[in-house]
Amino acid sequence: MFKRIAFFVYGSLSYLVFLGTFLYAVAFVGNLGVPTALDGARSGPLGVAVAIDVVLLALFAVQHSVMARKWFKDWWTRIVPKPLERSTYVLFSSLALILLFWQWRPLGGVVWTIEDPFARFVLRGLFAFGWGLVLVSTFLINHFDLFGMRQVWLYLLARPYTTLRFGTPGPYRLVRHPLYVGWLFAFWSTPTMTLAHLLFSIATTAYILIAIQLEERDLVREHGDSYEAYRRSVPMLIPFTRRRRDSQPAERISARVQ
């Protein structure tokens, strides 16, 4: 019983670290009064600052992608108990982001700025919409399973973990990756695009496009024909850009591999 409680406490703490990191990320990208933010005046040589930022982004991308792959999980769970695998992944991802927030180097410079008050309001609205879509998308596919809480809760109750069924709730009927669509809105919707913001947006967009390919390979391996049918009938990121080839909707699912 002590072990089960300890696992649940670890998972809960990992989730709280994630929650704090997520909230800070909103303020970091939006420059909303936090100690370190995406934009600001450059304090050193441009080349050094760009190199540091690129390394920080690459470190997060590698951690976030490699630890999500099945081959890594198969090896990792020889060291980390299976009920803690997802919580540990969430914790490491949060720590990689915290390092990025801490060491990020603003680059100065303005690529574009929009002065019209209404246009600025619209862009701020799209920024908020993006973060909201990210959060809503996680709940639609089981937020607490995605961030490790369901796994430690079931372990606390001495119940076996059961894989969630594949489903297409809400925006998943329009695009296969609404969570990533939310990130794109959050990262690109800004009335003032600085050099640092542009670097961040380009790098994260490139990572998203690569991550989708890796994720979908895992989803096809896990769900087979069900996901193949879904992939053929629903566009990846832009809704209404692909005609449905089948008259029947894709089989419902409620889990995704990250």
pLDDT at position 242: 67
Q: Give the mean model confidence (pLDDT) for residues 144-153.
A: 95
Q: What is the pLDDT of residues 8-40, one digit of tens each?
A: 999 999 999 999 999 999 999 999 989 999 999
236 φ, ψ (degrees, to nearest 5)? -75, -55
Q: What's CA 215's distance to the chain center, in Å?
A: 12
Burial 95-113 (b: 16+ CB within 10 A, else e): ebbeebbeebbbbeeeeee
Q: What is the pLDDT of residues 192-237, one digit of tens each?
A: 999 999 999 999 999 999 999 999 998 898 888 888 999 999 999 9
34 φ, ψ (degrees, to nearest 5)? -95, 160
Residue 166: pLDDT band (50, 70, 90) is confident
Q: Give the mean model confidence (pLDDT) for residues 108-127.
A: 95
Q: Measured between alpha carbons, how far is 48 from 237 in angstroms, rounded to an integer?
A: 34
Mean pLDDT, the chain, as a whole number?
Answer: 91
Q: Give the mean model confidence (pLDDT) for residues 93-117.
A: 95
What's the pTM value of the predicted model, to 2 decimals? 0.88
